[in-house]
Structure 1
Amino acid sequence: MVAEPTTALSTPVRVTGLDGILLAGERWEGERRPALLFAHGFGQTRHAWAGSARALAAQGFSALTFDARGHGESERVPRGDYHMEQFVSDLLAVASVATPEGGPRPVVVGASMGGLLALVAAGEAEGPCPFSALVLVDITPRWETRGVERILGFMRAHPNGFASYDEAASAIEAYLPQRRERKTEDQLKPLLRQGGDGRLRWHWDPALLDGLVEESERYQPRLFAAAARVQVPVLLLSGARSDVVSSHTVEEFLRLVPHARHVSLADATHMVAGDANDAFTREIAAFMQTLQATPPKHYDDVTR
């Protein structure tokens, strides 16, 4: 849930998703292709990727970050009727504008929910895969229920919002004790909305916690089937201290996708990009370099 603000290196993008829902994004220009398409996790926004997108753009990589429907500045679904299919369709819509016409398909970097959506879109494609490669950030088709329940517990913990940014910062500080810096008001502004009662509430639509969360459990068989069909290069980046992904779920995933490479970042929890942003960004850049050559048929499991 914690984010860094964007900078002048990015320009606003608006993409029309399924049913005309407008999705807010940022384009980070670079000369190198394929472009990176960042898909955030449940309850996050595009700002979660700003540090990495900025650093990768400085290295010449083009990138696109966006808010999923019901999150951040993207539009909410009327009557709160959210379904996973909507999010998959939106991801494909954003992918279609991530690179210039005729350019190589983007590399999707998907955290948690974003990674699951990318797996479905890639594994169920009727024609060529819409992505040239996948980076899954601390997510596998099977996840540890206790870790997910901890996340949802935090998301449900403050239905009445906060009286001040300082109060919100304290809540995040308690939720993410591994973070060294307390969030400032400027860093929190993209994450909160002020209601008519003057209180600050998270940027995401509370209706997301209803049907969409329950629906995700039923998606697991579909996710396994989709993963087994993925043929493009895959990098799984996990947090060694994650309570959502475990050695068991990683091993299971690598049996499903034997050509995938796994890197575990020692200092990261489930919030990989926020906990170890420099290491995370280095791994993304290194993976992009490997795509310039013919990918090997199998990658070794790596811990860093």
Structure 2
Amino acid sequence: MRRNISITSDLYAVVDTIGRPPVVVGASLGGRTALVAEGERPGTTAGLVLVDIAPRVDAAGQARVRAFMAGAPDGFSSLEEVAEAVNAYSPRRRGSGNVEGLRKNVRQRADGRWYWHWDPRFLEASTDEQNFAVDRLLRAAGNVSAPTMLVRGSRSDMVTAEAANELLQLVPSARLVEVAAGHMITGDDNDVFTSRLRDFLAERVQRADRV
């Protein structure tokens, strides 16, 4: 079983290989991993962008995300079926109707069926109570000093307004940005997310580098 502590170690290994702290953008499980990495080894990152994730998340929303990610273990017969699954999870998602854009999220195997790029087994990491204990995440957040931005979807069923405010209290220098989106912010409105990310890099991270 692959657990979060191993994923955190992977992040440390990448940072050590790079040779300098990078800005880490982490969504959901990636955000939790980045938060733990920075909080337990301060200076790991030059900046932290948490995409709709906080130490405390809504249990029902988390279960819904896990169900979506673990769904279709036998794959999809077409990109249209992939689109149907995405739309069922996020019915308010804005799409062009062109399913070709979903190719970046799936891969086609020799059997002709389409499978999510992610390995469903990595979800075992996010269900490990010890490695994802709220107390551990809260302690890690309290140690974060790197420039931080939390991007929360205003329609998120994972991160409530209260959970976002709790993070801001733990990381007083953090910035909160809300986007008209659900939990999958980059899929719902990637243009707005990219714009907010650029602003953060220019205003917070590059400024910190000059100090």
Shift of 1:230: 0.8
Q: Write 1 or 2 for the structure with the bigger share of helix.
A: 2
Matched, 1:85 2:1: no
Residue of structure 2 in register with 1:11 after alignment:
none
SS in 2 for 1:121: helix
Match of 1:242 in 2: 156
Say if 2:39 is the partner of 1:123. yes
Within 1, Cα distance between the matches of 2:139 and 2:199?
28
* Distance of 2:31 and 2:151 partners within structure 1: 11
Secondary structure, aligned partner of 1:262:
strand
| 2:51 equivalent in structure 1 | 137
- Tell me the residue number matched to 1:45: none
Deviation track 1:146-187 (CA, whole Å, cap 9, x = no partner) reads 111111122233222212222222222222222232564542
Q: Distance in 2 between matches of 1:264 and 1:232?
A: 20
Does the aligned pair in 1 maintain the 2:52–2:150 contact within 8 Å?
A: yes
| Distance apart, 1:294 and its partner CA | 4.9
Map of 1:288 onto structure 2: 201
Please state how far the C-alpha of 1:194 moved relative to its aligned partner. 3.5
Tell me if structure 2 keeps the 8 A contact 1:122–1:226. yes
User: Aligned pair 1:268/2:187, yes or no?
Assistant: no
Query: How many residues are treated as equivalent by the alignment?
Result: 207
TM-score, structure 1 as length reference: 0.62
Candidates 101, 107, 111, aligned match of 2:27: 111
Residues 123 and 228, structure 1, Cα contact 8 Å, conserved in 2: yes
Which residue identity lines up with residue 289 of structure 1 in the other structure?
A
1:191 and 1:203 in contact (8 A); partners too: yes
Give identity over the alignment, percent.
43
RMSD over equivalenced CA pairs, Å: 2.2
Question: Quick one: structure 1 residues 97 and 186, their matched pair in 2 at CA, closer, same or farther if it must change by over 3 Å?
Answer: farther
Distance in 2 between the 1:221 and 1:246 partners?
18
Bigger relative CO (Cα 8 Å, ≥ 6 apart): 2
- Indicate the residue corresponding to 1:201 in structure 2: 115
Higher percent of residues as strand = 1
Contact kept, 8 Å, 2:48 with 2:148, in 1: the verdict is yes
After superposition, what is the alpha-carbon deviation per residue over 1:120-141, rounded to whole angstroms, capped at 9, x for unaligned? Answer: 111111xx51111211111100
Contact (CA 8 Å) 2:35, 2:141: kept in 1 or not?
yes
Deviation at residue 216 of structure 1 after TM alignment: 5.0
Is it true that 1:278 corresponds to 2:194 in the alignment? no
User: Does the CA-based 8 Å contact 1:191-1:202 persist in structure 2?
Assistant: yes
TM-score (norm 2): 0.87
Q: Which runs of 5+ in 1 are unaligned?
A: 1-80, 296-304
Q: Is the 8 A contact 2:29 2:126 kept in 1?
A: no
Contact 1:169 1:182 in 2 (8 A): no
Q: In the aligned structure 2, how far is the partner of 1:193 from the partner of 1:279?
A: 27
Aligned counterparts of 1:184 and 1:243: Cα–Cα separation in 2: 26
| Alpha-carbon distance between aligned partners in 1 of 2:105 and 2:186, rounded to the nearest angstrom | 16
Which 5+ residue runs of structure 2 have no aligned equivalent? Answer: none
The alpha-carbon deviation at position 82 of structure 1 amounts to 0.8
Deviations 1:265-286 (A, max 9, x none): 2x11111122222221221111
Distance 1:276 1:121, change over 3 A: same
Shift of 1:293: 3.0
